[in-house]
Amino acid sequence: MNTRRLFARSRLQLAFWYALVMGGILTLLGLGVYRAIVQANWMALEREVESIAGTLHDSLEPMLPRNASPTGVLQKMLPDLCLINQPCQVTPTLIERHTLGISDRRLYYIRLFDYQGNLLAFSPNQPSSLSPIFNKEIWQTIQPPKGDRYRQFTTILHSAGNTNQSSWGYLQIGRSLAAFDTENQRILWILGISLPLALALVALSSWGLARLAMRPIYQSYQQQQQFTANAAHELRSPLASLLATVEAVLRIDSSHSPEINTMLNTVERQGRRLSQLITDLLLLSRLEQETTVEDWRVCCLNDLVSDLAEEFLELAIAADIDLSSDVTSKEIYVLGNESQLYRLVSNLIANAIQYTTVGENIRITLTSSEEIATITVQDTGIGIALDQQERIFERFYRINRDRSRKTGGTGLGLAIAQAITVKHQGVLNVESELGQGSWFTIQLPIVSASMAHS
C-alpha cells in the first residue's frame, strides 16, 4: 500500500470515528433535551390539573349534604354538569359561568361518583368512549379509540360536618392532552430535521478536521523519509570510499609502503567522518527522547562563551578571519547540561567560521535581561537567502553542498543546536541577508543567583 493511500485511509477512519462519536453525542444530547422538555411539560400539566382539582374540591366539600340526595345540590353547584339518567341541558347563567370559569371547559371534563363508585354527574364534553365504571387510581391516562388523549386525576370528597373518615364520593378531572401531544410532535419534527443536518455538518467537519489532524503526521512522515534517505546517502558515500580504499590496500604489494600509508590515512579520515556522523545522529535521537534532567546543573555562561572564543580563535586566525567576543562582566547562570550547551555554542561558531570568507569578521556576545540570557554569533559571511532560512535547521540540509563536503560538514550542526536549545527551553533565531552575513541568537532562561551559589 503506497503512502498516499495509507494516509487517505487513515484520514477516512479518523473522520468516521470522529463523526460517529460526535453524532452519538449530539443524538444523546437531542434525546436528552427532548425528554427533559416533555417531562417538564408533563409535570406542569399535572400540577395544573391538581390545582384545578384542589379548587373544585375545596369549593364543593362545604356544600355537600351528609344524608340528602346530591342531585339538587349538584344542579345548583355545577349547572354545566349532566346528571346521570336525566336529560342533559346546558344553559348556564352569567354568574354560573363565572363560578365555573376556573378552567377552560373545552380542555377539561369533570365526573362525580358517590362513595360506592356510582356515576352521579359528568361534563357533556367528556370522551364518549369513557367508561362509567369507577377506577380508584389517582392518575390515569385515557386513550379513546378516536380523538385526543386525556390525563385524569381522582380525589376524595367528604360531606360537610363529616367527622369520620368515610368519604362522600369522588371527584375526577380530566384534561385534554391535545396541546401536549402537538407540542411533542413539533419538537420531534424539529429534531427530525435539525439532527440529520447537524450530523451532516459533523461529517463534513470531521473530514476537514481529520485533514488538519493528519497534516502534521504526514509532514513528520515525509521528514522521516527524507531523513532516512539523507542518512543513507551520507553513510553510503564514506562507506563506499572506505571499502574501495580497503580493497585497493589489499591489492597493493606490501613493498609499496608510501601508497599504503596514504590509503590508510584515507581510511582513517573516512572512519572518523562516519564516527562523527553516527555520534551526531545518536545525540539528536537522545535529545528528542530524553525527558530526565538529572544530569543538569547550574552553568556559568560567561566562562563557557569565553572558553569557546579562545578555543576557536586559532581556527579563525588560520582561516584569516577576525574573531572577537564581548562577554558581560555580570555573571549569568542557566540550568542545563554543560556539555550540550558547549556543543550548542560551538556549533554556531564553527558554522560561522565555515561560511565566512577570508578577511571578514565574527563577533560573539553575551548579554542578559531580567530573566533571559542572550548569546549572539554574528558574522559578515556569505549570508543565507530568505527562502532557505526556514530550512537550515533541518537535518542534513546544506546551503552549499559542494562547499560543505569539502569542509567535512554533515548538515547536522544547526539541527543539533536547535534540538539542544529546545531541550533547555530556549529559543534559537536567525537573521541573515545574502552577501551581508548572518546573526544567530540564542535565548535561555536565567536561574537566580541564590540557586547558582547554593
**Which CATH number fits the domain that encloses residue 386?**
3.30.565.10
Per-residue pLDDT 10s for the chain (454 aa) are 567 788 888 888 888 898 899 888 988 998 999 999 999 999 999 999 999 888 888 887 787 776 656 666 666 767 777 888 777 765 554 434 434 444 455 788 888 888 888 888 888 888 877 888 888 899 999 888 888 889 999 998 887 665 555 678 888 999 999 999 999 999 999 988 988 898 889 889 888 888 888 888 877 777 676 666 666 656 666 677 777 777 776 677 666 567 667 766 777 776 777 776 777 777 766 666 655 555 788 888 999 999 999 989 888 888 889 999 888 888 889 988 888 899 899 989 988 888 888 888 999 999 988 789 999 999 888 888 877 777 787 776 666 554 444 455 567 778 888 888 988 889 999 888 888 888 999 999 988 766 655 5
Instruction: Using alpha carbons, select from 103, 68, 70 the residue that is nearest to residue 86.
Output: 70
What is the spatial distance between Cα 321 and Cα 382, in angstroms, rounded to a whole number? 13
Q: Which of 129, 151, 185 is the last residue of a domain?
A: 185
Q: CB burial class (10 A; 0-12, 13-18, 19+) of residue 283?
A: middle
- How many independent structural domains does the chain possess? 2
75, part of any domain = yes
Residue 341 structural domain: 292-452
Domain at 108, CATH number:
3.30.450
What's the one-letter identity of residue 412?
Answer: L
Q: Residue 440 in contact with residue 393, Cβ under 8 Å?
A: no
In sequence order, the 6+-apart residues with CB closer than 8 A to the CB of 182 are: none
Q: Which of 151, 185, 219 is the last residue of a domain?
A: 185
Residue located via cell numbers 572558553: 307
> Cα 250 vs. chain centroid, distance in angstroms?
63
Q: For residue 208, count other CB atoms closer than 10 A to its CB.
A: 10
Q: Residue 398 in contact with residue 409, Cβ under 8 Å?
A: yes
Beta bridge partners of 83: 121
Q: CB burial class (10 A; 0-12, 13-18, 19+) of residue 177?
A: buried
Beta bridge partners of 438: 379, 432
Q: Which of 167, 185, 203 is the last residue of a domain?
A: 185
242 to 92, 144, 404, 408: CA distances (angstroms)? 119, 99, 19, 15
